[in-house]
């Protein structure tokens, strides 16, 4: 059974559908099949797992849209959350304040 869902064909992350332990194989449901990826950390239900290696400042794509950028290199299978993702959305005017 799949434990993660790739929402849009262009996404480079998937959402885990159950808690995942580090080292566990995660079946990722795509629009055409289920692919396997090994989790590199524990990942809580509802959080994101990287499907590809990402370089610093590379866009993180979910829903087919950029939701942020990689703060540091992220490996396929890494947990993606606020510790390694940053987002400029809503902060455009922050420097002016």
What's the start-to-end Cα distance of the chain, in Å?
Answer: 49
- pLDDT-derived band at 88, boundaries 50, 70, 90: confident
Q: How far is CA 94 from CA 22, 53, 57, 68, 89, in A?
A: 37, 30, 20, 17, 10
- Say whether pLDDT at 1 is over 80: no
Q: Tens digits of per-residue pLDDT, 18-75?
A: 999 999 999 999 989 999 999 999 999 999 999 999 999 999 999 999 999 999 999 9
What kind of fold does domain 4-96 have according to CATH?
2.30.130
């Amino acid at each position: 059974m799949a434990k993660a869902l790739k929402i849009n064909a262009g996404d480079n992350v998937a959402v885990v559908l159950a808690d995942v332990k580090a080292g566990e194989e995660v079946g990722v449901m795509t629009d055409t099949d289920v692919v396997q990826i090994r989790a590199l950390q524990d990942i809580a239900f509802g959080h994101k797992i990287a499907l590809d290696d990402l370089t610093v400042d590379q866009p993180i794509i979910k829903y087919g849209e950029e939701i942020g950028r990689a703060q540091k290199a992220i490996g396929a299978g890494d947990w993606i959350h606020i510790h390694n993702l940053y987002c400029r959305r809503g902060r455009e005017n922050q420097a002016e304040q």
